[in-house]
Structure 1
Amino acid sequence: MSIDMEAVILEIVGKLPPGKSASSEEVARAADSERWQRLTGHVRATARGLARQGRLTVLRHNKPADPDTFKGVYRLRLPTDDERAAALAKAAETPVVEAPGETEV
């Protein structure tokens, strides 16, 4: 069984009222109610990717957290316009690393 975790996360947070958040457990249970514990790492990894793209906000202590460095318990919600812009700006600053042997032409 293959789970589209990105779709599950966006569906769950998309149904929430503005400013409300969902726990990673809620998302994992929505994806698979019987084996949800095995999915928590997948939820975290997918949430990090969505947050880097500006499509999701990861919260720690009800404040936006850096998707690359947050640890511990977290919640997820849709980003505000400011949070989305900040995530996109940060992504634009990240240098592109070339694979060994590849050169620009």
Structure 2
Amino acid sequence: MTSPIQDTILSLLAPLAEGKSIDPMNVAKAVQPERWQQILGHVRTNAIELAREGKVVILRHNKPVNPEKFRGVYRIRTRLEGDPTSFEDTVVEDEAGDDATEA
């Protein structure tokens, strides 16, 4: 069973050309135009669920990422042939900025 947010994600992706993605903000605005900021977290949760089911891919810097571990700005697109289905062997995003520096 899908939620209204998942239905909206899938309906916004359906008319797009292969490989094109959507912004989660547009999903939130389509679901709740007046209070879209309040449901952005729900859009993320629903996008992650659809990614787990293999229906969509979460993108960062236009590359598929692990839906369980990504952070920051993301986009959503329909899964393409050749997209990874498992992220266990992939390298975690560059975290060089997390190093503490001495004062």
Specify the TM-score bucket, using the shorter chain as the normaliser.
0.7 to 0.9
Structure 1 stretches of 5 or more lacking a match?
91-105
Structure 2 stretches of 5 or more lacking a match?
89-103
Separation in 1, partners of 2:16, 2:42: 21
Tell me what 2:76 maps to: 76
Separation in 1, partners of 2:53, 2:85: 6
Task: Give the CA deviation at 1:87.
Answer: 2.5
Query: How many pairs are equivalent?
Result: 86
Separation in 2, partners of 1:15, 1:66: 25
Moved over 4 A (4+): none
Within 5 A, what are the aligned runs for 1:1-105?
4-83=4-83, 86-87=84-85
* Counterpart residue type for residue 44 of structure 1: R
Separation in 2, partners of 1:42, 1:13: 18
RMSD: 1.8
Query: 1:55–1:79: 8 Å Cα contact kept in structure 2?
Result: yes
TM-score normalised according to structure 1 size: 0.75
TM-score normalised according to structure 2 size: 0.77
